[in-house]
Amino acid sequence: CFFALKVWNAQNAGAAAVLVTDDVEEALITMDTPEEDTESAKYIANITIPSALVTKTFGEKLKKAISDGEMVNVYLDWRESVPHPDDRVEYELWSNSNDECGVKCDMLMAFLKDFKGAAQVLEKGGYTQFTPHYITWYCPQAFTVSKQCKSQCINHGRYCAPDPEQDFSVGYEGKDVVLENLRQLCVFRVANETKRPWIWWDYVTDFQIRCPMKDKKYNKDCAEAVIKTLDIDLKKINECMGDPDADSDNTILKEEQDAQVGKGSRGDVTILPTLVVNNRQYRGKLEKGAVLKALCAGFEETTEPSVCLSGDVETNECLEKNGGCWQDKITNITACKDTFRGRVCECPVVNGVQFKGDGYNSCVARGPGRCKISHGGCWNENRNGIAFSACVDDDDGKCTCPEGFTGDGVKSCEDVDECKEKKACQCPECNCKNTWGSYECSCSGDLLYIRDHDACISKSSGRVRSAWSVFWIIILGLAIAAAGAYLVYKYRIRSYMDSEIRAIMAQYMPLDSQ
């Protein structure tokens, strides 16, 4: 059985650690299964005990020492197995943009996302030099015109990748994977020319999130949308990729095929993913903590960066170009959130108002109160102190042009010419003048315009009506004053008469109290 399965069986049997001896004298490659196998990928991910592959010669020495009854101590230490010549570590990752190859692809994508923050810190500080690589195969000359080669290869069979679904009649083709691999190589090269090689990590993780095969977005349009958000020169990328239909070598992919061949202590790269540190193949688990320890072991003693001496890595990716996320510069609202594992693009909640969108290209306020925040993303304009907005403060989140305007409400609302469209001032004597967002009506001659009735009346008739109104107001006031005076008079007369009668009766009919 394969080496990895031996370790899995030993772990289930209770082993604390496993050393696997190669059965032939050769440059060590890996203990991983040399073929795509869903079952093996599952148990490989669950191996938790330390394990290592050793050469046949070293293994024979161990066996002899044990058989002779000697005490054998084996110390697994990265500091001795990884060369550490200077204060910079060179490492490379052989991977694939295909995200539908099962457990291994899931493991690779999870590693890229998790390790991105640490990788960018090390690269920005000049502590490491990272290089991405991609494996391709070539189609034999006799089969270059076959359906299989045409669907899996570019440049007339020179560079190929397996069909993602293993079915030539459905889904994506192998050449789609080759083209995206080439695009990712060119992203690294162009970013490296601008002294920003760490942008490659942003691109591959964003492409994974925004352009997965399962959502049918694994294509050129989605890839170029990611490139634009990261401020990378798209023209240079396309020039770098060249013509995939040309019957000639592609310089970039030819270099990748040459690099697959083993050199020195590093064997041939035949299995994905493969990590090489200081030209020595890494054989541990592909997870952040283990890989970071391997990289730190590659530094010359006392030259390690602080990240190697601490238990965590912290970086604020939102400080540079807003992390490639959506941002409203007017209100200083951003979808970029810095986390331990890097940045994520999620639409925010501001003053109780939830923004919704993909977080990369757009975030739009939704729900009550949204119009208070940048007009809810709707059209708005202010002219000469007069402001209009297409934002409607409701749960629908729609943008509707206000009365007197027409348009989509988001990008534009055009002023309606009520006079030209005969929506106002339609009386024979009316004169119409269009204004921004409204209109003005006037009447010819000695006439007065009444807007509510869309009519013109004589100013003199208006003055007569005003005079009669004043007359009746005066009459009404006098009547009220007379009624009031009469009531006061009546009350005072009655009070006087009551007091006189009481005085007369008091003289002739004394009261009991007297």
User: What digits encode the pLDDT tens for the residues 77-114?
Assistant: 655 566 667 778 999 999 989 888 777 788 889 999 99
**For residues 117-139, average pLDDT:** 92
pLDDT in tens, 362-390: 888 887 788 887 787 788 888 877 888 88
In a domain, 470, yes or no: no
| Whether residue 411 has pLDDT greater than 90 | no
3-state secondary structure of 124: helix
Same domain assignment for residues 26 and 157: no
The fraction of the chain above a pLDDT of 70, given in percent, is 88
Q: Are 338 and 327 in contact (CB under 8 A)?
A: no
| Whether residue 151 has pLDDT greater than 70 | yes
Of 21-35, 154-168, 233-247, the range with the lowest mean pLDDT is 21-35
**For residues 161-165, average pLDDT:** 89
Same domain assignment for residues 223 and 123: yes
pTM over 0.75: no
Q: Which helix (H) or strand (E) holds 281?
A: strand 280-282
How far is Cα 463 from Cα 459, in angstroms, rounded to an integer?
6
| Whether residue 340 has pLDDT greater than 50 | no
Which tokens in the block code for residue 335? 């979808």
Give residue 236's pLDDT: 95
Same domain assignment for residues 113 and 194: yes
What's the per-residue H, E or C state across 94-106? EECCCCCCCHHHH
Q: First vs last Cα of the chain: how many Å apart?
A: 138
- Higher pLDDT: 228 or 431? It is 228
Same domain assignment for residues 12 and 118: no
Same domain assignment for residues 90 and 208: yes
How far is Cα 18 from Cα 342, in angstroms, rounded to an integer?
35
Residue-number span of the structural domain to which 447 is assigned: 420-458
Query: Among 284, 308, 332, which residue terminates a domain?
Result: 308
**For residues 465-470, average pLDDT:** 64
Q: Which helix (H) or strand (E) holds 159?
A: strand 159-160
| Whether residue 326 has pLDDT greater than 60 | yes
pLDDT in tens, 262-282: 776 667 787 788 899 988 888
Give residue 29's pLDDT: 65
Give residue 57's pLDDT: 93
Same domain assignment for residues 236 and 145: yes
Q: How confident is the model at residue 514 (pLDDT cuts 50, 70, 90)?
A: very low
In a domain, 488, yes or no: no
How far is Cα 290 from Cα 286, in angstroms, rounded to an integer?
7
Same domain assignment for residues 1 and 130: no
Highest mean pLDDT among 168-172, 305-309, 437-441: 168-172
In a domain, 496, yes or no: no
| Whether residue 231 has pLDDT greater than 70 | yes
**Which residue, 110, 115, 102, 2, is CA-closest to 42?**
102
Give residue 447's pLDDT: 75
Same domain assignment for residues 146 and 269: yes
| Structural domain count, the chain | 5
Same domain assignment for residues 111 and 162: yes
| Number of other residues whose CB lies within 10 A of the CB of residue 30 | 17
Give residue 67's pLDDT: 93
Q: How does the average pLDDT of the chain come out, rounded? A: 83
- Higher pLDDT: 82 or 216? It is 216
Of 136-140, 230-234, 298-302, the range with the lowest mean pLDDT is 298-302
**For residues 20-45, average pLDDT:** 72
Same domain assignment for residues 389 and 443: no
Same domain assignment for residues 252 and 338: no
Give residue 250's pLDDT: 95
Give residue 119's pLDDT: 92
Give residue 464's pLDDT: 45
**For residues 33-62, average pLDDT:** 79
**For residues 212-226, average pLDDT:** 93
Of 310-319, 340-349, 460-469, the range with the lowest mean pLDDT is 460-469
How far is Cα 502 from Cα 497, in angstroms, rounded to an integer?
9
Same domain assignment for residues 252 and 176: yes
